[in-house]
Amino acid sequence: MFELGRTPGVREPVQLFTVTVRSCEDSVGENRDAFWVIADTVASVPPDYPTRIKYGEVPTHFEELIEPKTLTPGCFVVQTGGSGSTRFKVAAGGEVTSVN
């Protein structure tokens, strides 16, 4: 689950144009290397901005550009249309922790 906001730890609606998940090693790569990509299809306006997004579940007003791949153990980055990003790790047991 990705919680959104302008301040870490404070969830609030945020305008997103795209959301991309890729490996930390490929954090500036091409979308074809991404693990998941979604895009806002209608340029949502408040109060329709999401406050959280669950990996693999496409929010209202979004479309899936790249279907989700299984997240194997390792480091990943989620980027939000150039306005922000955060890193997270997936452990062998499936636990997810923030890397920031």
pLDDT per residue over 85-100, tens digit each? 888 999 999 898 888 6
* Average pLDDT of span 6-15: 72
* Average pLDDT of span 4-28: 77
Instruction: Locate 64 and state its tokens.
Output: 């899936």
pLDDT at 38 over 70: yes
Q: Where along the chain do its domains lie?
A: 2-98
pLDDT per residue over 60-80, tens digit each? 888 999 999 999 999 999 888
The alpha carbons of the chain give a radius of gyration, in whole angstroms, of 13
pLDDT at 5 over 90: no
Cβ atoms of 55 and 21 within 8 Å: the answer is yes
Q: What is this structure's pTM?
A: 0.80
